[in-house]
Structure formats: structure tokens, C-alpha cells
Structure 1
Amino acid sequence: MTGQNTNLGQTAVVFAYHSVGVRSIKTLLARGIHIQLVVSHDDNPNETIWFESVAALCLEYGIPRIAPDNPNTAETIDQIKAINPDFIFSFYYRNMLSEEVLCLAKNGAYNLHGSLLPKYRGRVPVNWAVLHGETETGVTLHEMTAKPDAGAIIAQTAVPILPDDTAFEVFGKLTVAAEQTLWNALPALIAGNAKRLENNLALGSYFSGRKPEDGRIDWSRTAQEVYNLHRAVAPPYPGAFTDVNGQRFVIEKARLINPFTTKIPAHLPQGISVVDNVTFGVCGDGNAIQILALQLDGRTLDSASLSTLFA
């Protein structure tokens, strides 16, 4: 039987943030893990907060929570030592944990990563996978080591990336996949007999974080590449943008045009043009995306404004 409370009162310290953090904490609780401390982040007022709150969850469930700028200080380490946890888990926590922290868990430290390791190790793996036109990604539960995303693989769950999926939509799938992966893996982890698969880094890839400036559109690229960029950073992420006459326009919603079913007007220049109330983003290969919603200064432009600006 695989219901709730399947362990003998094992304890955990959890490093968590975002929706994955919320769902994963709930999954640990449902499996009977006693969470003694959550280490999280305070929300950044300069960041668009579109995800669930770990802080609110901890308040609701009465779980002690701290949010140090650096989780590897002596103060935080002493707090974890005093708990002497069976497990340490990391769920979408943004800081690296030192080896000194990882060694404090008697039964191991484990992280949920948003890719099918060893592919897309590092930062923002969902956005990178969409940008590169992948048709599949997933979630990996793995042992944590001092080197990021390099420990042995405990479990993985794959999800499809459909042709028009944005990173936001894929992240929603991964949140569910994270919960499934953790739920299915926990009984073996608790029993101490979880299988471990090699995480062969030579077969994978590593990517760093992305900055808003990385969303700048290069219209000389192919339409598929420009469309992938849009999908990778579409709102609620900062968005793919282009500067025209000193003004910054952000693509809110778009679709890749099939040139066999939709005629692209001839002789349009690269970039944005409006023809018969249709907004085209013409790319270097002669194909185009259709821009369904375009923002200027955070406001979605109406058809009259678009025609005036890009006629």
C-alpha cells in the first residue's frame, strides 16, 4: 500500500521556492516526512511574481522558515546541525548549497531539476529547452553534489513540448511532473533502497542564467528561431522585444506562419509590418511570425495604434 505516512517519522530540511517548491513540500508532507525547517527566498519586488508562495505555505502549515541571503553561513549550518535531518531536499531554490551543508543529511541530499539530466544542467532549463526547439523535457530527482546537477539520478519524468508551447506552459507541466516524480521516488528513498543511475555529464549540456537583454530579437534569424525565442521568454517572463525609433516593443503573443497556408506579402522588410490589420514579423529566411499581441510600455496596442506605428 502506498498511501500517506509510509515512513517512521523521518525528518527533512527543505530549500524551496516557486510553485515547484510548494507542490514538493506538500508531497513530502503527504508521504509523512516531518519538515523541521524550510529555507527559502523573500520575494523580489522587481520581479513579476506569478507563482505560488512557499512563505505563505509555511505560514499556513506552521513550518519554521528562514530566508538568508547566503544559505552556507555558519548560522544556517548550525541551525541545520541542531535538527540533524534525515534528508535535505532542494526544490527550485536559487542558491548553490555547499558541501558542508549537503553532508548534514544522514540519508542524503536531493534536488529536483527541471530537465532530463544530463541535458540542460544549470540555470533556467525550461527556457533554454524551449529556445532550442526541443520537443521533450522533464524533471529529474538526483543526488546533490558540490558540482551543480551532477549527482546520481534517482528518478525522471518526461513531458512533451508542443510546437506552440511557451516556457510558462511547459513550466506548468513540469510542476505536475515534479510532484509525480517525488511521490513515486519517496518510498524507496525512505526505505533506503532507491536505485541510482549514472548522470553522465559527457552526454549532457550546461547553461547559465538568462538576462532580459537576451530577449532582443535578431530579425535576420529564421522565423522558427525567432518564434522559439518568443516562446522561451513570453510573459510572464520579460518577453522577446525589438526597438523601433527609440521605443521598445515586446511580443505578448504570436504564432509561426505556415507559408504554405498563409500568404506573406512580398517585399516586406525584416522586422514588424502591418498589412490589412495583420501584424507580421518578417525574418531572415523570408518567413514570418504573426504577432497577435504587441506591447509598448506595458500596454497592449490596439489595431489602430499598430497600423499607425508600422504601416
Structure 2
Amino acid sequence: MHAVVFAYHDVGVNCLSALLNAGIQVDLVVTHQDDPNENVWFGSVEKLCQEKKISYITPSANELDALLPKFQAIAPDYIFSFYYRHMIPEQILACAKIAALNMHGSLLPKYRGRAPVNWAILHGETETGATLHVMEAKPDAGDIVGQVAVSIDPDETATDVFSKVSQAAVSVIDQALPSLLKGIVPRRANELQKGSYFGGRKPADGQIHWNQTAKQVHDLVRAVAPPYPGAFTAYEGKTMILARTSLKGPFPSKLNLGVCGIQVVDNRVFGICGDHQVVEVLEWFPASK
């Protein structure tokens, strides 16, 4: 079996490695150049390609259409997309003789779209996962090929959960490969009405609104904790990034639960929330750092 693989991030590294270990011939990898303005804390698909001597390219989104003849000439059995960030044009997807398949970091149909792990934590989910699905023009809407769930524990950050999802993605690939190697694509309906689509997130979306509940604030902190841009609030004229919080208590009786925002008591930092509940700030630092 021959494949063209669009890949980036840890999921890209891990799933590409799984394909190679299964004996799939990867004729070309399409990946991204790292953004110098981004905190790159994840594995490099480009480096893996160099180590394995796999041909790779790093086109911009605008350059993909012009590469159609290249993909048509390869005529792969499969096209795989593993955390590739650009929409792949339909004409390129059609170059796959058997199927074009994408790995998505949620339990589809829930959390279609961008930043699925972050959104799941932000909404207080206790479970997410990885889903391999057939690619169509509409993102994350094609039939489900395979799926593996992972837990989200109450204090885990997006990085913690993403690590689980990355491993779940490999499990999905490993489970699907015996069928895919025979040219069989297992399919079940992706029931879109049972989930929602979410857009990308910006650093400004990390602003804490202390009128929300303590759990909502805690979940926001977890969802965008560094190396993501972080949840932030103003304190004594500075913008502070909250990296870790706790709901566990016990909390000092001196706290004024009627005033939302940051209060410092006995050298401990607390946030008073709109439901008159408390989050303790275990780690924070100025945004200027």
C-alpha cells in the first residue's frame, strides 16, 4: 500500500511512525514549517522525514492547488491527514485510490473543528479521544473509521490530555490498519446532529471573567495552560498568567466571597468567582515573562 501523508505535531509524528512500522510505503509527506512566533513544544514531522529519508514538502495553503499534478502522478492508495493545519482541496483528496482519511482529536461528532482538546476541557468534559474518519469537503464530517476514548481528569491540562489523545490516535491507526492494508475501509455514520463545530481560539480568549463559576475559571486555566498562551487577569497593574489552579480547599475564612477577583491571604493567592466559590492560584507569573 502506498500513501501520501499530510502531518504535523505529535499526532503527525506518532501516526506517521505507525504507518511506517506497518509497512505502508509513504511516497510523500506534506508538513508545515514551524512558525517562529509560536511556542513549538511538540515533535517534528520534518525531522522524522529527514531521519527516515522520506521525501517531504512544506507548501503554504495557497500553494496546495498547484501541487495537484504531483499528487495525481503519485496516485496513492491512501491519503492520510494527521493534525495538518490547512484544508486539503477536494481535488487532492480525490487522488486517493481507496480513501482519504483524517485523524481528529475528539470523539466525533463532538468537537468538530479547531482546538478540540482545548474546547473539551473548557466545557468540563470528562472524556475525549481520537477519531479516524473519511475526509470530505466539510471538515470532520465524513464517516467514522475508528475511535478510541481517553479520560479527562479534573486537574489535567490541555497538554496532559493532548498526550493521551496522541497515544489514542496511534491505537486507532493500529486497530484500523489490518483492514486498511486489505483495501477495506470500515465505516459508520458520523451523526453530525449529535455534536457541534468549534472555531479556532486566540490568546485573547484566555481572559478570565471572575463573574463565571469557579469551575468555569478552573477549566479555562486548564484548557489554555502553558505552553498554550494561558488564562490571564489583571492584578496590581500587571497582566498575570495563571498556569495552575485548584478547587480543592480548604480556603481561609478571611476571604471576602462577595467581591469577585484576586485576593491574597497569608501569602496564598485566590480567585473569588461569581458563584461565591474559590479557586486557589497555585502558579502564576507576569505575562511579560
TM-score (norm 2): 0.96
Please give the alpha-carbon distance, in whole angstroms, between the structure 1 residues aligned to 2:146 and 2:65: 32
Residue 264 of structure 1 and its aligned partner are, at CA, apart by 4.7
Residue 72 of structure 1 and its aligned partner are, at CA, apart by 6.0
Equivalent residue number for residue 244 of structure 1 = 235
Please give the alpha-carbon distance, in whole angstroms, between the structure 2 residues aligned to 1:99 and 1:72: 14
Q: CA contact under 8 A between 2:2 and 2:27: conserved in structure 1?
A: yes
Please give the alpha-carbon distance, in whole angstroms, between the structure 1 residues aligned to 2:253 and 2:145: 49
Equivalent residue number for residue 256 of structure 2 = 267
Secondary structure at the residue paired with 1:191? coil
Equivalent residue number for residue 295 of structure 1 = 285
Q: CA contact under 8 A between 2:133 and 2:140: conserved in structure 1?
A: yes
Superposition pairs of residues 1-311 of structure 1, within 5 angstroms: 10-70=1-61, 73-258=64-249, 261-267=250-256, 269-299=259-289
Q: CA contact under 8 A between 2:131 and 2:144: conserved in structure 1?
A: yes
1:95-152 CA-to-partner distances (Å, cap 9, x unmatched) read 1111101000001100000000000000000000000000000000000000000000
Please give the alpha-carbon distance, in whole angstroms, between the structure 1 residues aligned to 2:43 and 2:188: 31
Please give the alpha-carbon distance, in whole angstroms, between the structure 1 residues aligned to 2:196 and 2:116: 10
Amino acid at match of 1:68: P
Residue 190 of structure 1 and its aligned partner are, at CA, apart by 1.7
1:94/1:296 Cα in 2 relative to 1: closer, same or farther (>3 Å)?
Answer: same
Amino acid at match of 1:273: Q
Q: CA contact under 8 A between 2:64 and 2:89: conserved in structure 1?
A: no
Residue 286 of structure 1 and its aligned partner are, at CA, apart by 1.1
Secondary structure at the residue paired with 2:46? helix
- Would you say how many aligned residue pairs link Structure 1 and Structure 2? 288
Please give the alpha-carbon distance, in whole angstroms, between the structure 2 residues aligned to 1:142 and 1:233: 26
Residue 263 of structure 1 and its aligned partner are, at CA, apart by 4.0
Please give the alpha-carbon distance, in whole angstroms, between the structure 2 residues aligned to 1:64 and 1:239: 36
Amino acid at match of 2:147: Q
Secondary structure at the residue paired with 1:20? helix
Task: Provide the identity percentage.
Answer: 52
Residue 82 of structure 1 and its aligned partner are, at CA, apart by 1.5
Moved over 6 A (4+): none
Amino acid at match of 1:105: A
1:157-178 CA-to-partner distances (Å, cap 9, x unmatched) read 0000011111110000001000
Please give the alpha-carbon distance, in whole angstroms, between the structure 1 residues aligned to 2:255 and 2:274: 14
Q: CA contact under 8 A between 1:11 and 1:36: conserved in structure 2?
A: yes
- Alpha-carbon RMSD across the aligned residues, in angstroms, is 1.3
Q: Which runs of 5 or more residues in structure 1 are unaligned?
A: 1-9, 300-311
1:72-100 CA-to-partner distances (Å, cap 9, x unmatched) read 63432111111111110000000111110
TM-score (norm 1): 0.90
Q: Which runs of 5 or more residues in structure 2 are unaligned?
A: none
Residue 227 of structure 1 and its aligned partner are, at CA, apart by 0.3
Please give the alpha-carbon distance, in whole angstroms, between the structure 2 residues aligned to 1:93 and 1:177: 17
Amino acid at match of 1:220: N
Equivalent residue number for residue 6 of structure 1 = none
Q: CA contact under 8 A between 2:255 and 2:265: conserved in structure 1?
A: no
Please give the alpha-carbon distance, in whole angstroms, between the structure 1 residues aligned to 2:231 and 2:111: 21
Q: CA contact under 8 A between 2:255 and 2:263: conserved in structure 1?
A: no
Secondary structure at the residue paired with 1:273? strand
